[in-house]
Structure formats: C-alpha cells, structure tokens
Chain A
Amino acid sequence: MIPALEIKNLRKTYNSTIAVNDISFTVKPGEFFGFLGPNGAGKTTTIHCITGIARITSGSIRVFGHDVVEDYREARKQVGLAPQEFNVDIFGRVWDILDYVGGFYGMRKHERKERIEHLLEQFDLTEHARKEFRMLSGGLKRRVMLTRAMVHNPPFLILDEPTAGVDVELRHMLWNYLRELNKEGKTILLTSHYLEEVELLCNRVAIIHKGSIAAIDDTSAFLKDGKRLEHMYLEITKKAINTET
C-alpha cells in the first residue's frame, strides 16, 4: 500500500541552523497521526517542507507516492493545510478566500460553489461568508482556516495547531468533525500542544525534538501502565535533553 506520507532522511537547514535533522517516517492512508514536539522542535518546518512553503535541503518527501518536488502538482492536490498562523488576505471576504483557493486547485465554478456552501454550513460560517476576514473573531478566523484547507477535498489533511485559541464548544465540534473525516478515510496529520486532544484523536504519534524524531509509536504504546501522553511526552523530551548533555 502506498503511504499517505513518506519522509526519507529529511534535512532542512536555515543558513547554519539545523531545523530538521535527517528524519524519516511514514503515515499510512487513513491514519490519524499526531506530530508533537516543543516550540521550535521542527514540526512546522517539516510541514512546510511537505507542502512546498519551504525548500528541502536534502532527503525526500512523497505524498501518496508523489514526490513533493518532482511531481509537486499532484503532491499538492493531495494535501490540505490549515497552518498555525492566519496566512490570509485579511481584507478578503470569506467566500472569496475560499473561492480563490478552490480555483488554484483547478476546481470548476459550480464545484467550488457547491463545496464552499457545504463547508460554510458545516462550520457554521454561512452568515459570515460576505464578511472581511479581519472583521471576524479569533474562533471564526480559525474555522475559516480549516474550511480553506478542505475546499479541494484533499485525502490528506495537515492541521498545524488547529485548536489553538478556540473556545471549548468549537474544539469539541472540531474533534467530532475530524473523527468523522477520519472515519470517511481521510488521513490526518495533527500537531497540537493540547496532548489530551492528541491522545483522544490520534492512532499513532511521533515526537520530534530539536529536529530529530525522539519517539514514534501507536498512541496505545505511549499510554501503557496507566500513564498519560503528557507524562510520556515530558519523559521523552527530558530524556532527549539529557542524552544531548
């Protein structure tokens, strides 16, 4: 079976700083994969390498078998990215933002209209469709970012801290929605600092620390002996620090 994501010996440097140091891992189709690590560990850099925002220094990345450099058009069609930051035209109206993104992915007008109407309803954004992005509350902005990632209905979703700064209701609504999507067969890569969220949703978890994979296993393996993911996470990252010193 072709992996949804296959990263081989990925290395990313910024001048002399090593952001990602020779990491390799795969994500199977249909998996709900947690990608954890402290701030600056290399999560977002890895995501940027997968999606084409960053140039790869060395190594390779394939999305559903498509190399993200050589076969970037096909690779990018497979991925929907909801980034950590609001990287959006703040003066743009919600509908236009989604419509343009659908167009960039080659969707026809009627397909875009149908898909956007469906997603706006799903995320309770219909009444905000004609508002400028900058006029929305933080929670609504986060919903728009998630909606934007899904416009072209990609099989692989990358959600970089999608619940940061959202209220409890939206977080629960989002969890249910993501579970549904995963059940329907979507592969999801999730980064989050809310470890209970990862524990609840993800089948498998990788922990990245200072650019290297410190641990990767099924979520259940992190939870043995009645431990919580948070304890294991702290143990692993602490151990990684001790090994370095």
Chain B
Amino acid sequence: MQIALAVLLGFLFGFTLQKVGAANPVKIIDMLRFRDLHLMKAILFGIGFAMIGLFVLLHFGVLNVASHLSVKSAYTGVIVGGLLLGAGWGMAGFCPGTGLVGLGAGRRDAWVFLIGGLLGAFLYTLIYGWIKGSFLFASIGGKSTLAVTGNDAFPALFPQISGLVLGCGIGAGFIIVSLVLPLLKKRRVQAGVEESVAQDRTEDTPAG
C-alpha cells in the first residue's frame, strides 16, 4: 500500500514539477535574477494553498493528519546548509528534486547534476562523524512551528493564537503576495515572440 502511494504521489509530483517549469534551469535562473517570476508566484501560491488546506484539516481533526506531520529541527546547519544549497541552486538551476525530474524529462545536463549531487552527499556522509559535535548542530529552536498543529511533538511559537487562524492567515499572506507579484516576462520584442506569448495565454487558461 505504502509503495503504491509512493508511485502515485511521486508520479504526480514529478509530472507537476515538469509542467510547472521547475525542472527547467532557464526558468529557475530567470526567477532568481528577477526576469520571470512565474515560478515564484507558483511556489508562493502552492505553499499558501497547502498551508490553508493543512490547517483546515488539522482543525477539524480529520484523516489523522496531525500524526503525519514531520517538522524538521532548526539548528545552525539549516542556515549554513541553506546557503550552500542556494549557491548550488543559483549556479546549476537545479535543486535536488528538480534535477531528477529534469533527468526524466531527458535533459542531459541533469546527469551531471546527479553525479555532482551524489558526490556532495557522499562527502557529507564521510565527514558527518567529525562535525556532528560542532557548532553546526547548535539548536536554534528545535522542531517548532509558528502555528499550533495539534501534534505535541512540535511545540508552537505562538500557542496563544488558534492554529486555524494563524495557519490560514500566513497561508493567505503567501497567496496575496503570489497574486500581487508581477510576472515580469519582459521579452525582446520580436515578430513571432509576441505571438507565442499570446498563444500561451489562450492555452493556459485553467478552466478546461
């Protein structure tokens, strides 16, 4: 059953990342240098939507969702590692997930990303024993969340506010930002290019 769900959910996620354009390094790099915010808008909307959905489900206590949560610890290595990942992301245009989807979509450079990634993860596997007692693992908040989730393993930083209100509030904030951000698709004005932009619009209407 678990394996069947892994196939279903993994397939949905990989299919979605490809259709979203996230497995295309051009889209990633153009987002990071503020030329095309399509992905930024999609990511913010996605997080906001998932957050609201999650906190509504948690509030009503359906489907045992609280027990499925998995909040990661906050320690200095999260920030140092985030900076390293960001540097690699801004260099390659792939992150660990989208590199694999790019591989499936037939991008040959994704193989090089995979090899680099396997070596980077291998180096970490080798040095972990030496660094595990270092400042990199100093806790800065542990497994905490902003909003109350109802799972006691994960303490909330704002326990006095209802989880539903705070979760949906932050989620709504993400959605508002996603709606307000401009797309910024400033393309070179060329014959044929404007045509293709117009074509995007007609084909991309979500109703259908």
Partners in one complex: no
Chain B contact residues, CB within 8 Å of chain A: none
